[in-house]
Structures are given as C-alpha cells and as structure tokens.
Amino acid sequence: MNSHKKNSKELLRRYEQGTCSDEEKLWIESRYNEVASRSIDKMYEIDPTETQEEIWGQIKKQTSQRQQKIRRLRTIAAAACILMVVGAVGLSIWWKSPNAVENVYTADIKPMKIEEVRISKVEVVEKKNKVEDQKIVPHILLSDGKVIPLVDFNEGLQVQEDGIYYVQGKQIEFGNQQANMHTLTTPKGFDCKFTLSDGTIVWLNAESSIRFPLAFAANNREVELEGEAYFDVFHDAKRPFIVKSKDQSIKVLGTEFNIRAYPREQTVKTTLVQGSVEVLTSKQRALLSPGQQLSLYEDKLNITEKFDMESVVAWKNGYFRFNGDLKEIMTDLARWYDLELDYKVPPNYKIDIEAALSKSKTIQEMIELIHVATGLKLSIKERRLSIMK
C-alpha cells in the first residue's frame, strides 16, 4: 500500500475524531463534493483487496445488532465522507461524521440478468435514410417536415441567424429555412447543450423538445418547451425571453432557471436559480425569487423554498442526485436509459433515498444500487424496467 493511501486512511480517522486541521477538513469535504461530477466509487483511492478485511470488520461490529437488509442509501451534507468498496463479498456503503460512525449498512449483491438492454446514448445509429432511424439520435425537425440527425451533437450546437452549426464550426445544412420555427428533440438516453442566436444557453434533458427560430423577433425572444430544460438567458432589456410550456408562460430578461414540463407528468415545475421570472397562466400571475420553485397543477400555483436545488439541476451537470420520491427517481432513470417503467410499488410504500450518482454508470450499476438502497426487487426484460416490493 503506498504512502498516499496510508495518509488518506489516517486523515479519515482523525477527521472522525475531530482532531484534523482546518486545512485537512477542507480537503476531505472538497473530495466529498466531487460526487457531483465523479462516480462515488472513485471518490477515494482505496484498494479493495488491501482494505476489505479491515473495512468489513468495522461493518460487522457496527451492524451486529441491526438487520442486514439495507433500507436507505444516504449521502450526507458537506461535513461527511463516503467510502465505497466493491469486493467479492458485495458492496458496502457507510459514512463518517466528525463525532461518530453512524448508520452502517451492508448487503450482498448478486449480478442481475439484463436482457436486451442498450444505452442509446453511446450507440449513434448510422442509418439516415429513414425518419424512424434518424429520430433515434437528437435531431432537428424543420418546418417543412425534414429531419436532420445530429450525429455530432456531443460537441454542442450554436444557433446563428444564418443557420445552425456544430461547436467545431461545421454548418448543418437544411436549405432556406431561416425564417421558420425549428424543433430540436432529444430522445430517451440523450441530453444536449446548445446556444441560441441571442446568446442564451440551453441544456435540453432526455425525452424533451424545444421549438425556436434562428433569428428572434425585434420585440421578444420566444421558444416553446416540452419536457425539461435549463436556461441561462442572455440579458436583453429590450427583448424579454419567453418560454411557453404546457399551460404556462415564463417571461424573463436575463436569468437562470429550470423547467420540468413532461407531457405524462401532471405537475409543471419551474425552479429559479438566479435573477427573477414571471410565470403566467390563463388565470394567474406569479413572480419568483432565487431559490424558489413554482408548481403548476390543474391551474393551481404553489411556490415553495423547501426543495433540494442540487437535485433539480444535477442532470445538466452529468449526474443524478436523488432526494425524494422513489417513483420520480425511477421515471428519470427509465428516461435516461431508454426503458419503459413498470412501477409496482404500493402508493403508501414510502422510501427516502438520498444519493448522487454519475449518469455515466451502466443501467446494471444503477439498479444494483437502488436494490441495495431500498431492498426492492428490480428486473429488466424486453426494454422494460420493473420494480416491486
């Protein structure tokens, strides 16, 4: 074992005992925050073969009077360290606080059988002669019905008044369509970042679409959204930016906000990160301040500050942060991995899950973690993800 690993283990012990310096404490907590962009199993450079015996000894001691079936997977606030070790005996997850070691759980994991599963994000379809083939990847639907597959979408898009370009400079050819509205669609398993002609940056989540012009009007900038998107709106005092989604319109000058408006979800959620937004429905009007979330359900508006902002915007940063409703969690996973969800958990069966997981993980890794966290049964067959008690 090299000195770095030894020093890391000793530092964690002193952090647990509350004897480390402020600089050491800051280093540990900064490593925890890397969950946002890195998978949990890479947070600490731990060799499972060298530490497994010691770690499992601690786990067994802590769990001697507890049930072995895990009921919760929890990532704590910034003053915590998560350790994950995957070895022959299974997967262990626990956390340490400055005062004590608490809530230690363990469960054996057996490989689950995955049938006919593919992650479409990494399978760019080469066929371009059929519309149904073109729509497997992010694509632009022109006003004349022509479909343009975006096979190089990973580099991002730049909308300009004379056309749409890939970030590296290659123009997407689509004829004389500048004056019309075009629709950018991301199917299941994909998301896409692009910049509108006014400088507004848009992150479009999986199974979503946005309608936009190449050049905005002289008095406003209007787009239409179905699904979920995060907007970083370029400030223009003379031209408000308007987003229409379902039964509401959002009007801003320059700000950052997230809209979740999927057709199969009854509630539309608008979350303000910076600036201010005005939300309009046919009957009501509301102004949001930073850190507020507005929910629209059956023409009723509700504003709250009691929500997890990181969970709302994590998707655009490349990871899932789960902190809430299990069904919504599973719906998001099914959408990302291009699966249909068969949710058979009773409505009154409540499970609180808190976790931060990279979207680069495979579907098998994801469902194994959910299985460990909840004790629920998960299976995938014929592109259908089933979850039951």
pLDDT digit string (tens) for 87-136? 222 232 333 222 322 232 223 323 333 332 222 232 332 333 333 444 57
* Segment 316-343, tens digit of pLDDT: 999 888 776 788 888 999 999 999 999 9
Task: Determine which of 1-10, 53-62, 277-286, 294-303 has the lowest per-residue pLDDT on average.
Answer: 53-62
For residue 243, the tally of other CB atoms under 10 A from its CB is 25
Residue 273 pLDDT > 80 = yes
Other CB atoms within 10 A of residue 19 CB: 10
Residue 223 has pLDDT above 70, yes or no: yes
What does the alpha-carbon distance between residue 325 and residue 260 come to, in Å, rounded to a whole number?
Answer: 15
Q: How far apart are CA 354 and CA 75, in angstroms?
A: 6
Element housing 294 (H / E): strand 293-297
CA 214 to chain centre: 28
Residue of 340 and 161 predicted with greater confidence: 340
Query: Alpha helix (H) ranges present in the chain?
Result: 3-17, 22-33, 48-62, 131-134, 309-313, 326-336, 363-374
Buried b (16+ CB within 10 A) or exposed e, 58-80: ebeebbeeeeeebeebbbeeeeb
Please tell me the distance from the alpha carbon of residue 73 to that of residue 105, in angstroms, as a whole number: 9
CATH number 3.55.50.30 given to 318-388: yes
Fold (topology level) of 124-311: Jelly Rolls (2.60.120)
Q: What is the pLDDT of residues 204-218, one digit of tens each?
A: 999 999 999 988 999
Evaluate if residue 259 carries a pLDDT over 90: yes
In this model, does residue 260 exceed pLDDT 90? yes
Question: Are 158 and 195 contacting, i.e. CB atoms less than 8 angstroms apart?
Answer: yes
Q: Tell me, what's the pLDDT at 149?
A: 87
- Predicted confidence at residue 20, as pLDDT, reads 77
Angle between helices 22-33 and 3-17 (to 10 degrees): 110
What's the average model confidence in pLDDT over 4-33?
Answer: 64
Does residue 227 register a pLDDT over 60?
yes
Looking at residue 35, its pLDDT comes to 38
Least confident of 56-70, 222-236, 240-254: 56-70
Instruction: Please report, for the chain, the start and end positions of each structural domain, with discontinuous segments joined by +.
Output: 3-107, 124-311, 318-388
Q: Give the 3-state secondary structure of residue 126.
A: coil
> DSSP label at 317?
G
Q: pLDDT value at position 8?
A: 60
